[in-house]
Amino acid sequence: MRYILVTALRDRLFLALPVMLAVGAALVIFLSGSAIIEQREMAAALFGAGSRVLVIVGLVLFVCFHIRQAMAGGEIALILSRPVSRGAFVLIYSASLVIVGFICVAVAIALVWLCARPPLDGLLAWGLSLALESMLMILTAVFFGLILNSAVACTLACMGFYVLARMSGLLGALADKAGETGGLDLLLGYGFRLISLIIPRLDFFTRSEWLVYGWNGGGPGIAWAVLQSLAFTPLILAAAIIDFSRKRL
């Protein structure tokens, strides 16, 4: 844990991400002031979505480059020379990265509160959900970081995964529609459905409407985000452990 925190400090994660979030907050306050009504709601929705993307992209970049650097520098091989199994290493390493992610999420929550003064229940639901979304993306970045040999490929894979995961609900709906027309659309529909089976439903997470109307804003609630996290976390961790156990360092 201490090792991860030190590297996060060394890589200026705790400086760069809050500065980026603060600049984003200033920009959003300026932009939302030009809305003819509902300026607070405008600021909440724009900063909610913007800070989510900044936190996720920042953490994915940090995790991917951190893992590749640690692999190339032999730090991971050094840790594994101690009496610790590869499975335990992946678990502890992931947990430490998730704690780093939670620190960044806390900064985003504080800035959303300062910037938009959302309803408290909505902010709590949004913050918890952002923490869970960050956790899933950190675990995904750990998975790709441990199996791919390039930080750039790992980052791109994570970003592609994230976009698909945010759209997976819509993909499922499109798959249902494609199934009705037959032919090539039917095949595409099967493809979409296969993708949406494995990819988590991140569209349940961190919805800006919670910051606007509170957590009872309509649609699936926070419980679905918690259930999705409970389902996907063991899956991605097990996949990472299996792949890392087979890897030659």
Partner 1 sequence: MGGQGKLRHVPRLYVLALLIGLAGQLLFWSQAHDLRIPWSGVSLAPTPAAARITGLGDTQFYYRAAGLGLQNMGDWAGGLTPLVAYDYGRLAGWFTLLSQMDPKSQYVPSFAAYYFGQSRNPDQVRQIIGYLQQLAVENPQQHWRWLAYGAYLARYRVKDPVLGLALAKQLAALPVEDMPVWTRQLPAFVLADAGEREAARDILEAILMTAPDLHPAEQFFIRNYIDTRLGFSGEVR
Q: Does 87 bind partner 1 (CB under 8 A)?
A: no
Q: Does 68 bind partner 1 (CB under 8 A)?
A: no
Residue 90, CA distances (Å) to 57, 225, 238 in order: 21, 24, 9
* Identified binder of partner 1 from the candidate list 24, 123, 129, 203, rule CB under 8 A: 203
- The site for partner 1, by CB under 8 A, has a size of 31
x-marked contacts with partner 1 along 148-187 as a string, rule CB under 8 A: ---------------x--xx-xx--xx-------------
Stretch that binds partner 1, among 7-15, 57-65, 190-198, 202-210 (CB under 8 A): 202-210
Q: Does 32 bind partner 1 (CB under 8 A)?
A: yes
Q: Does 37 bind partner 1 (CB under 8 A)?
A: yes
- We find the least distance from the C-beta atom of residue 149 to partner 1, in angstroms, to be 27
CB nearer to partner 1: pick between 45 and 146:
45
CB nearer to partner 1: pick between 96 and 168:
168
Interacting residues toward partner 1 by CB under 8 A: 31-32, 34-38, 41-42, 45-46, 48-49, 52-53, 163, 166-167, 169-170, 173-174, 202-203, 206-209, 211-213
